[in-house]
Every structure is written in C-alpha cells, then in structure tokens.
Structure 1
C-alpha cells in the first residue's frame, strides 16, 4: 500500500477510534456520576436547560472522554502511520479541538471547564498519545 494512502486511512481510523472512546466514556458517565435531579440529559435542549444544576463532579467524565478519546486516537495514528508520526498525532488533536470548540459553542459550559477542556484535553493529549505511539508501540 502506498504510504500516503496508509497515512490517510490511519488518520481516519484514529478519528473513528478516538470518537468511539469518547462516546463510550460519555455513555457510561451517567451510570457512575448520575446527573443532577431534575435534569434531562437525553437531548441537547434539556442539557442546555439543566446545565446550571451541574456541579464540578459532573464535568469529570466529559473531560476524560475528550482527553482519552484524543489520546487514544493519536496513539493509534502514531503507531500505524508510515512517517511524520507526531505530526499526524497532533493532527488528531487539532481535529478533536475543533470538535471541542464546536461543542463549547453549541453547549455553553462554565468558564473554568471551557479553559481546562480546550487547553488540556486536545493538543497536550495528542502530543502525549503520539509520543506513546512512537516510543512504546513501535518497539521491536
């Protein structure tokens, strides 16, 4: 397979698998830390309307979902891509950062969470995932 085709497929796979990790964590989060009483988290409108009821503990799993989804996607890309491994891993971070920005626009959250999420969950985690993918997974 040509390296460019492999790299493109790898990036698509990293986005897909990182998104699966993200959604998996979001899906289980309500079972571990239940949403506040009286909140409807099944729809975007219900979530917006009840966001004022959320305590800091309710933001733990969304942050973990964003960080670990990005980390996992970047690690996979760094492991499988043929060259420029860290650049592709950081590209995963930029992709998920764009999604995080869109999420903040659609679903306004507390300022502290916005700053923490945008500054800590995407580019730093893609960098760390990229390093892990390069150093750990590619050992012979």
Structure 2
C-alpha cells in the first residue's frame, strides 16, 4: 500500500519539477520587464497576455512532458499493471492547469492543448509497462 501512495506522490513531484524547470527556462528566454513581479498581479497578467506564442507553446510542452513523465514514473514505482496511479496524477495535473489558466489571460488554443495535455499520462503508463518487468 505504501508503494502505491509513493507512486502517486512520485508522479506528481516529477511532474511539478518538470513544469517548474520548463517555466524557468521560459522565463529566461522571455524575461519579465522591469517592475513586473508575481506580487503585482495586474502587471504580471499583462506580461503573460503579451507573451509571444512561442513562449506559451513552451508552457504547453512542459505540461505535456510532465503528464507523460508522471504516468511513467507513477507506474514504474507502483510495480502494478493498473493505470490508477497515472490517472490520479493526470487528474491532479488537470486541476492545476485549470486553476492556472483561470487566473491568467489564456487564449482558447492554450485551453484546448492544456486540457488535453494531462491525458498524456496514458502513453507514459503504457511505456512504463513495456519497459519494466511488472
């Protein structure tokens, strides 16, 4: 039972680390202007709204890669052929993406790809099954 709990925690931690790293790279490539901070909500919202499409695509890539990785890691840790752990990780990611997009000005295409990204836990789950001896 403890292994299954750690499987979900591991998947979520890996996903969050990936999202953090990808968004950090995104902020290095597209830095915030002077005077814009996370605390200054209106200025940050304007910064996000004016980001180029490439910067927003990097965020979507991060979500997709994080979901795939969460499915893979949670399945490998669980050593169980059931998809429950990957599904739970995908549900957590989906809820966090919805929360993030609802707080920031996000175009429709980002909503579409962002809401689809968590479903990549399933290919991650499948790949973990083919690469392991569970």
TM-score scaled to structure 2, two decimals? 0.86
Is residue 2:50 matched to residue 1:34?
Answer: no
In structure 1, the gaps of 5 or more residues are none
TM-score scaled to structure 1, two decimals? 0.82
Q: Which residue of 1 aligns with 2:122?
A: 127
Question: SS in structure 1 opposite 2:105?
Answer: coil
Q: What is the CA RMSD across the aligned residues, in angstroms? A: 2.1
**Cα displacement (A) at 1:113:** 1.0
Q: Which has the higher contact order (CA 8 A, sep 6+)?
A: 2
For residues 21-76 of structure 1, give each alpha carbon's deviation from its aligned partner in whole angstroms, at most 9, with x where no partner exists.
Answer: 11011111223x32476783x41613212233122111121111111111111101
Question: SS in structure 2 opposite 1:85?
Answer: coil
Residues 56 and 112 (structure 1), Cα distance of their counterparts in 2 relative to 1, 3 Å cut: same
Greater displacement, 80-89 / 8-17: 80-89
The alignment of Structure 1 onto Structure 2 pairs a total of residues equal to: 132
Does the CA contact (< 8 Å) of 1:36 and 1:53 recur in 2? no
The within-5 A match list for 1:75-86 is 75-86=72-83
Residues 60 and 38 (structure 1), Cα distance of their counterparts in 2 relative to 1, 3 Å cut: farther
Is residue 2:14 matched to residue 1:17?
Answer: yes
Is residue 2:103 matched to residue 1:88?
Answer: no
